[in-house]
């Protein structure tokens, strides 16, 4: 039998020991990696719950910040949206040789002057109504109560509650405090108007530089191209929306002016102007002009049928335009879910009041446009539907 050298045997034993140590090290390294894999199914639900909780807290914090900073954010956001629309119009004026900056400032000046005359015209009418508020309230009650007395249960309720003179006296007494509350709210509105004008002017001055800053903040070339496409799509969508709705609301204002003129209401052009402006406030604006026409008709006419004619005519015209004309025109360009739009209007009205209702549609349109543009650039397969 051939003898194996002792040194060779020792080397073989050492090699076998090193291989065993290597296998043990590999096993030890793989064991911690396998443990989380085994625990992953159990922790997946908990991790998802933690992630949802973090997102929920972030949403609540953002909503709280929006609500707390409403006095500052409302005029700034309003100025940005108006500035985007005026900036797009100023870009269209470049074909006539007018620089975009000068065109934007010129359009902003026209917008501010028009807004001033609009507010002044409405304030004159409101001031006249406020000065005659006690007498008007008494006249309205005197005209409505005879109609209500035709119903036995209403007459019984009035007899048990208070007389006609007491109701008229209560309305007159409460008219003053109500007007005082309205006057007290004008000071914050004036400050917000000044913030809006300053933000609008500064936005138009730095619009091009701000756009370039957003684009250059993206590091990759593809990301910059996508940013340009998103900004262009958002500006185009806002411009088309406001241009289309302004024409529709102008037509509604013209119809309202004709209704007021035929219905015998005074200051028919102001009624049309009021309908045009209030139409930008979803739901609330139509309700306000409807109630105003109802009160105006009751103040002017003695016959109930004639007094209700203006409000009935306006309701028919408004419902026809909102349910037939607006969906036919806007539906071709903007595929907006009515339920989501309604939720957006409720949310922003709760957050920022009447101005939030005006901004609800533009903000929802911006979010929808950005979502569609990001989805188109994702490159991932989409479900049909």
Mean pLDDT value across residues 219-244: 88
Q: Do 194 and 236 belong to one domain?
A: no
Domain final residue pick, 164, 188, 217: 217
Reference 322, options 275, 363, 367; nearest CA is 275
| Banded pLDDT at 39 (limits 50, 70, 90) | very low
Q: Which long-range contacts (CB under 8 A, 24 or more apart) does 275-283 make?
A: 275/249, 275/314, 276/249, 276/250, 276/252, 277/118, 277/122, 279/245, 279/248, 279/249, 279/252, 279/253, 280/245, 280/249, 280/358, 281/354, 281/357, 281/358, 282/345, 282/357, 282/360, 282/361, 283/345, 283/357
pLDDT at res. 255: 92
Question: Residue 349 falls within a domain, yes or no?
Answer: yes
Question: Residue 110 falls within a domain, yes or no?
Answer: yes
Mean pLDDT value across residues 59-84: 89
Within the chain, residue ranges assigned H as helices are 6-68, 70-92, 100-131, 133-148, 152-161, 164-184, 186-205, 207-216, 221-262, 268-278, 284-300, 304-320, 326-333, 338-377
Are 291 and 280 in contact by the 8 Å Cβ rule? The answer is no
pLDDT digits (tens, 9 = 90+) for 2-11: 444 545 545 5
Q: What is the span of the domain harbouring residue 307?
A: 232-374
Least reliable range by pLDDT among 94-103, 239-248, 256-265, 273-282: 94-103
pLDDT at res. 377: 64
Neighbours of 345 (CB within 10 A): 21
Q: Do 123 and 172 belong to one domain?
A: yes
Are 268 and 293 in contact by the 8 Å Cβ rule? The answer is no
Q: Give how many domains the chain has, as a whole number.
A: 2
Question: Residue 24 falls within a domain, yes or no?
Answer: no
Least reliable range by pLDDT among 85-94, 257-266, 359-368: 85-94
Question: Residue 268 falls within a domain, yes or no?
Answer: yes
Domain final residue pick, 192, 217, 242: 217
Average pLDDT over the chain, rounded to an integer: 75
| Banded pLDDT at 77 (limits 50, 70, 90) | very high
Question: Residue 57 falls within a domain, yes or no?
Answer: no
Q: Do 208 and 274 belong to one domain?
A: no
Q: Do 207 and 237 belong to one domain?
A: no
pLDDT at res. 17: 59
pLDDT at res. 385: 43
Mean pLDDT value across residues 180-190: 61
Strand, coil or helix: 149: coil
Q: Do 141 and 270 belong to one domain?
A: no
DSSP one-letter string for 273-302: HHHHHHTTSTTHHHHHHHHHHHHHHHHH-S
Question: Residue 44 falls within a domain, yes or no?
Answer: no
Q: Do 97 and 177 belong to one domain?
A: yes
pLDDT digits (tens, 9 = 90+) for 264-319: 888 888 888 888 888 888 777 888 888 888 888 877 777 778 888 889 999 998 88
Q: Do 197 and 112 belong to one domain?
A: yes
Burial of 274 from C-beta contacts in 10 A (0-12 / 13-18 / 19+):
buried
- The answer on pLDDT for 70 being more than 60 is yes
Q: Do 213 and 237 belong to one domain?
A: no
- Cα–Cα distance measured from residue 350 to residue 107, given in angstroms and rounded to the nearest whole number: 32
pLDDT at res. 116: 77
- Cα–Cα distance measured from residue 352 to residue 358, given in angstroms and rounded to the nearest whole number: 10
Question: Residue 34 falls within a domain, yes or no?
Answer: no
Q: Do 364 and 250 belong to one domain?
A: yes
Are 230 and 242 in contact by the 8 Å Cβ rule? The answer is no
Q: Do 205 and 240 belong to one domain?
A: no
Q: Do 195 and 308 belong to one domain?
A: no
Q: 99 — phi, psi (to 5°)?
A: -60, 145
Q: Do 236 and 267 belong to one domain?
A: yes
């Amino acid at each position: 039998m051939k003898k194996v050298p002792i040194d060779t045997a020792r080397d073989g034993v050492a090699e076998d020991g090193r291989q065993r140590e290597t296998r043990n090290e590999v096993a030890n390294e793989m064991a911690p990696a396998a443990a989380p894999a085994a625990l992953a199914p159990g922790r997946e639900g908990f991790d998802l719950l933690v992630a949802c909780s973090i997102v929920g807290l972030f949403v609540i914090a953002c909503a709280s910040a929006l609500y707390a900073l409403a006095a500052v954010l409302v005029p700034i956001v309003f100025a940005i949206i108006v500035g985007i629309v005026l900036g797009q119009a100023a870009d269209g004026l470049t074909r006539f040789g007018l620089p975009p900056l000068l065109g934007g400032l010129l359009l902003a000046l026209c917008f501010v002057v028009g807004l001033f005359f609009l507010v002044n015209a409405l304030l004159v009418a409101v001031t006249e109504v406020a000065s005659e508020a006690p007498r008007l309230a008494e006249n309205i009650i005197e005209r409505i109560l005879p109609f209500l007395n035709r119903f036995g249960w209403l007459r019984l309720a009035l007899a048990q509650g208070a007389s006609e003179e007491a109701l008229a006296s209560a309305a007159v007494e409460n008219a003053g405090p109500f007007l005082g509350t309205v006057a007290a709210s004008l000071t914050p509105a004036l400050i917000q108007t000044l913030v809006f004008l300053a933000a609008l002017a500064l936005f138009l001055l730095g619009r091009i530089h701000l756009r370039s800053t957003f684009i250059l903040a993206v590091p990759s070339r593809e990301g910059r191209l996508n940013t340009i496409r998103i900004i262009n799509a958002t500006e185009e969508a806002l411009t088309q929306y406001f241009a289309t709705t302004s024409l529709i609301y102008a037509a509604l204002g013209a119809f309202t002016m004709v209704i007021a003129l035929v219905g015998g209401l005074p200051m028919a052009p102001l009624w049309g102007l009021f309908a045009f402006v209030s139409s930008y406030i979803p739901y609330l604006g139509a309700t306000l002009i409807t109630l105003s026409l109802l009160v105006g008709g009751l103040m002017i006419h003695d016959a109930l049928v004639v007094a209700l004619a203006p409000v009935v005519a306006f309701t028919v015209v408004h419902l026809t335009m909102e349910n037939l004309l607006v969906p036919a025109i806007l539906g071709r360009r903007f595929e907006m879910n009515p339920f989501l739009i309604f939720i957006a209007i409720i949310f922003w009205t709760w957050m920022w009041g009447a101005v939030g209702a005006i901004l609800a549609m533009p903000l929802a349109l911006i979010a929808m446009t950005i979502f569609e543009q990001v989805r188109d650039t994702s490159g991932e397969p989409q479900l049909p539907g």
